[in-house]
Structure 1
Amino acid sequence: MFEKDPRTFSPEYKNLSPEQKAMVKLEITLTNFFKNFDKSMSRWERMIYPMLVVVGILGLSGFYLIYNVTTDMHTLTEQVDPRMEEHLSAMANNMDQLAQNISVMTEQITFMVDRVDSMEQNIATMNGNIGSLAVDVGSMKQNIGQMTANIADMNQAMRTMTVNTGFMSRDINQMGRPMDFMNSFTPW
Structure 2
Amino acid sequence: MPAARESLLDAAWTALARRPWPAVRMVDVAASAGVSRQTLYNEFGSKEGLARALVRREADAYLAGVERALAASADPCDRLTATAEWTAAAARDNALVRALLTGCWSERLPAPALSAAPSSSTVPAQRRADGPLPTPGDLVRLVRDRAATVLGGPAAGQDDGSALTRSCELVVRLALSCVTAPPDEGGIAELVRDALHRQPA
TM-score, normalised to structure 1, is 0.23
RCO greater where, 1 or 2, for CA within 8 Å and sep 6 or more? 1
Q: Decide which structure has the larger Cα Rg and report it.
A: 1
Structure 1 or 2: more helix by fraction? 1
